[in-house]
């Protein structure tokens, strides 16, 4: 949780997460959106990975990053609840199929 908030403290990293919300992207593609060097972006990815907010998939020579929405959600939810701010509703199974399913198979 602390790592999540640390990760969210930087605007570049928040923007990366936003970009990844739309679809998985390679490190290079993500980097194109920012005016900083690739190594710098790589460091940002490492922080996000450390916070477990993204996961990576090596495909040949490129690395595809993917948002772990449920982790972001859980952090936001539990923090909000501390304040009674309440009900960040549970991920409503994202439409485009880029959700973050890997969790408990939801006991109905």
Partner DNA sequence: CTTTTATTTAGATATTTAGCTAAATATCAT
Partner DNA sequence: ATGATATTTAGCTAAATATCTAAATAAAAG
Per CB under 8 A, 18 contacts a copy of itself:
yes
Site pattern 25..54 for DNA (x: CB under 7 A): -xxxx-x---xxxxxxxxxxxxx-------
Q: Which residue has the tokens 């485009």?
A: 96
Q: What residue 76 binds from DNA, a copy of itself, none (CB within 5 to 8 A, per partner kind)?
A: a copy of itself
Output the smallest distance, CB 84 to DNA, in A: 25
Task: End-to-end CA distance of the chain: give it in Å, rounded.
Answer: 27
3 DSSP assignment? H
Our CB check for a copy of itself shows the closer of 50 and 62 to be 50
Alpha-carbon span 70 to 73, nearest angstrom: 5
């Amino acid at each position: 949780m602390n790592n999540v908030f640390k990760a969210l403290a930087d605007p570049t990293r928040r923007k990366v997460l936003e970009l990844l919300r739309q679809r998985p992207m390679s490190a290079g593609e993500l980097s194109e959106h920012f005016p900083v060097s690739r190594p710098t972006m790589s460091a940002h990815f490492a922080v996000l990975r450390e916070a477990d907010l993204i996961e990576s998939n090596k495909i040949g020579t490129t690395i595809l990053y993917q948002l772990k929405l449920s982790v972001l959600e859980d952090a936001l939810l539990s923090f909000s609840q501390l304040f009674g701010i309440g009900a960040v509703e549970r991920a409503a199974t994202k439409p485009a199929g880029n959700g973050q399913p890997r969790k408990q198979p939801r006991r109905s």
